[in-house]
Amino acid sequence: MKYLVDTNILSSATAAQPHLDVAEWMENHSADLALSVVTATEILSGIAKLRREGATAKAARLRDWWETVEHLYADRILPFGLPEARIAGELADRARGNGHAPGLADIAIASTATAHELTILTRNRRHFGVLGVPCCDPFERLPD
């Protein structure tokens, strides 16, 4: 694995007009990609919200998509455990010391990437930049 895929990159595949070059790159480099359990939580929370709000057809479509993602990435959905928590504490304090207050989800994703020596694929580089972790926006430039 080389990259940890942020929620906004993964969910872009479900957009009405997905970026085909990014989707194709991800398909061709699938073995190099991992997900965080935080991304799973964010996706599943979004599906539950749609269902609660009555958008049952969209919720069902996204649930089916997520089940496929979960199957494909089963052994590459990385946990947030004590090693990641130790790193998260350091990253959060460093960011606060520099005047930033990142959210827990971003801190957890960043610490997971750090623990596994991965680069984060994200559209929110500014969120992860303050945490000092390597990141790349594949919508700006596809990784080598």
* pTM as predicted: 0.93
**Max Cα separation, the chain?**
45
- Which pLDDT value is given to residue 15? 82
Q: Output the pLDDT for position 44.
A: 97
Q: Which secondary structure element, helix H or strand E, spans residue 104, and what is its range?
A: helix 104-115
In this prediction, residue 27 carries a pLDDT of 92
Residues 6+ apart with CB under 8 A from 2: 29, 32, 33, 118, 119, 143
pLDDT at 77: 98
Query: Could you tell me if 128 and 136 are in contact, meaning their C-beta atoms sit under 8 angstroms apart?
Result: no
Give the per-residue pLDDT at 45: 97
Quote the tokens at residue 27: 């398909």
Check residue 18 and give its pLDDT.
Answer: 75
Give the chain's residues under pLDDT 50: none
What 3-state class would DSSP assign to 38?
helix
3-36+77-136 CATH, one of 3.40.50.720, 1.10.3720.10, 3.40.50.1010, 2.10.109.10: 3.40.50.1010
pLDDT score, position 19? 84
Residue 71: predicted pLDDT: 95
